[in-house]
């Protein structure tokens, strides 16, 4: 430190517009956060790793319309009619007949030990009663402790049973055949003709993955500065809370965009989930959703005292988001009060947006309400964060 060199006092700020100065400070914060993020290798790796792993895991794993469910048959009737009926059920693909039960106790045991999810029970004189026009009962026992798993199969069984015997009930038995209804019901499974779960799950995953990662990143950001002791210096610098906030959020908007792109590419390549609507609309609204989550995370960060607390708040917010947003369970299946809570979650609105744009081709105009909700949410969260930000150590 030589005595000849003068202090950089000459470099002191010249008069400049307040906005331009504010922008410089925002850039300072942005650059700093970006460097720190880049240098945090594990986090950096997880930015792409987490979405990929979760997408593979859930995209391939989750199926809400399972087929080939283990089934037991309990009957001593070996007539062609009974065989045709059981064959028809098996042909629905829902039932995989793995066991022949030797009596009711045996059938119960198969269900209790989770070996069979269904038991098809025909009375011993099923065909005889049927031929006599006595309308015998076919009993389908379903393990409904998992209603999602069984409901598809039950519906298919009802449909199969009415048509199964059309070929058997001919000649003198034709009178027993069901009369067709005087009208026809046609069902159009729009946007997902094959009823594939992944078409519903994969877009939803964009929402949940972004919620989780974005919340965590910013939830840590302020508490980390407090724990590392850097906050004390930062607070004595001429930088405003709103500049700190925006500077900390902005790098993660980029991160979120990278994650979204990763998921969309994988969704198209591996799961053949297309983007029917405009990619621009999807990107714009996804960025809005990313900012909404980052603001919530940042708000947690200003409330929490340490990183552990921030983490706990993240999970407190994340779980209801998963369960009440319509990601895992149908939104309109929930009671009204739960729907109100769900409406207060950004993920709920984003799921409507992402599923509509990707699968149905909805336009921005169709989604204005949900987009508005996300924008309002962001504004509220940011305002709270700026107000909550402690400018002193008091």
Partner 1 sequence: MSVERDIAIDVRGLTKSFGAKKVVDNLTLQVARGDIQGFLGPNGSGKTTTIRMLCGLLTPDSGEGTCLGYDIRRQQEEIKRYVGYMTQGFSLYRDLTIRENLEFVARVYGVDAPEDAAQAALERLGLVGRADQLAGELSGGWKQRLALGACILPGPSLLLLDEPTAGVDPKARRDFWDEIHHLSTQGLTVLVSTHYMDEAERCHKIAYIANGRLLASGTIPQIIAGARLSTWVVTGDGLDAFSDELKRQPGVDIVARFGSELHVGGRDEAAMERLARRYGAEGGHRWKRDEPTLEDVFIELMTRAGADR
Give the binding site for partner 1 (CB under 8 A): 1-3, 5-14, 16, 21, 24-25, 27-29, 31-32, 35-36, 39-40, 228-239, 391-394
Minimum distance of partner 1 from residue 43's CB (angstroms): 11
Minimum distance of partner 1 from residue 115's CB (angstroms): 55
Beta bridge partners of 348: none
Minimum distance of partner 1 from residue 224's CB (angstroms): 10
Minimum distance of partner 1 from residue 225's CB (angstroms): 9
Nearest CB to partner 1, comparing residues 29 and 111: 29
Nearest CB to partner 1, comparing residues 38 and 134: 38
Minimum distance of partner 1 from residue 247's CB (angstroms): 10
CB-based contacts of 265, cutoff 8 Å, min separation 6:
none
Q: Are 71 and 87 in contact (CB under 8 A)?
A: no
Minimum distance of partner 1 from residue 207's CB (angstroms): 31
Nearest CB to partner 1, comparing residues 11 and 181: 11
Minimum distance of partner 1 from residue 345's CB (angstroms): 34
Beta bridge partners of 141: 119
Nearest CB to partner 1, comparing residues 27 and 319: 27
190: region left, alpha or beta (phi > 0 left; psi from -120 to 50 alpha):
beta
Minimum distance of partner 1 from residue 229's CB (angstroms): 5
Nearest CB to partner 1, comparing residues 1 and 269: 1
Nearest CB to partner 1, comparing residues 199 and 248: 248
Nearest CB to partner 1, comparing residues 32 and 128: 32
Nearest CB to partner 1, comparing residues 40 and 166: 40
Nearest CB to partner 1, comparing residues 24 and 98: 24
Alpha-carbon distance of 248 to 251, in angstroms, equals 7
**HEC letters along the chain:** CCCCCCCHHHHCCCCCCHHHHHHHHHHHHHHHHHHHHHHCHHHHHHHHHHHHHHHHHHHHHCCCCCCCEEEEEECCCCCHHHHHHHHHHHHCCCEEEEEECCCHHHHHHHHHCCCCCEEEECCCCHHHHHHCCCCCCCEEEECCCCHHHHHHHHHHHHHHHHHHCCCCCCHHHHHHCCCCCCCCCCCCCCCCCCCCHHHHHHHHHHHHHHHHHHHHHHHHHHHHHHHHCHHHHHHCCCCCHHHHHHHHHHHHHHHHHHHHHHHHHHHHHHCCCCCCCCHHHHHHHHHHHHHHHHHHHHHHHHHCCCHHHHHHHHHHHHHHHHHHCCCCCCHHHCCHHHHHHHHCCHHHHHHHHHHHHHHHCCCHHHHHHHHHHHHHHHHHHHHHHHHHCCCCCC
135: region left, alpha or beta (phi > 0 left; psi from -120 to 50 alpha):
left
Nearest CB to partner 1, comparing residues 154 and 239: 239
Minimum distance of partner 1 from residue 41's CB (angstroms): 11
Minimum distance of partner 1 from residue 36's CB (angstroms): 5
């Amino acid at each position: 430190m030589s005595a000849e060199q003068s202090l950089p006092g000459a470099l002191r700020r010249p008069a400049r517009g307040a906005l331009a100065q504010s922008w410089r400070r925002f850039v300072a914060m942005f650059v700093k956060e970006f460097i720190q993020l880049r240098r945090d290798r594990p986090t950096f790796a997880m930015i792409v790793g987490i979405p990929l792993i979760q997408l593979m895991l859930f995209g391939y794993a989750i199926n809400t319309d399972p087929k080939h469910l283990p089934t037991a048959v309990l009957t001593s009737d070996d007539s062609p009619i009974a065989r045709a009926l059981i064959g028809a059920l098996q042909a629905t693909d829902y039932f995989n007949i793995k066991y022949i039960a030797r009596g009711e106790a045996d059938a119960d045991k198969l269900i209790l030990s989770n070996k069979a999810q269904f038991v098809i029970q025909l009375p011993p004189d099923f065909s005889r009663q049927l031929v006599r026009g006595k309308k015998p009962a076919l009993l389908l026992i379903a393990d409904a402790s998992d209603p999602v798993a069984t409901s598809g199969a039950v519906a298919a069984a009802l449909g199969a049973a009415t048509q199964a015997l059309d070929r058997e009930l001919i000649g003198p038995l034709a009178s027993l055949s069901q009369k067709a209804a005087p009208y026809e019901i046609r069902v159009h499974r729009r946007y997902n003709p094959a009823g594939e779960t992944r078409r519903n799950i994969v877009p939803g995953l964009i929402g949940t993955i972004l919620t989780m990662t974005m919340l965590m990143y910013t939830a840590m950001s302020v508490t980390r500065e407090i724990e590392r002791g850097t906050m004390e210096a930062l607070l004595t610098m001429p930088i405003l809370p709103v500049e700190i906030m925006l500077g900390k959020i902005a790098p993660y908007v980029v991160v979120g965009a990278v994650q979204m792109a990763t998921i969309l590419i994988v969704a198209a390549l591996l799961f053949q989930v297309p983007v029917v609507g405009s990619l621009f609309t999807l990107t714009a609204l996804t960025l809005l959703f990313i900012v909404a989550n980052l603001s919530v995370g940042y708000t947690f960060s200003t409330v929490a005292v340490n990183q552990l607390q921030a983490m706990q708040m993240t999970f407190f917010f994340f779980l209801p988001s998963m369960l009440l947003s319509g990601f895992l369970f149908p939104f309109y299946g929930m009671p009204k009060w739960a729907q109100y809570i769900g409406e207060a979650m950004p993920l709920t609105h984003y799921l409507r947006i992402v599923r509509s744009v990707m699968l149905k081709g909805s336009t921005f105009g169709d989604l204005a309400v949900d987009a508005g909700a996300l924008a309002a949410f962001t504004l509220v969260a940011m305002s709270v964060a700026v107000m909550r930000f402690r400018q002193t150590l008091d």
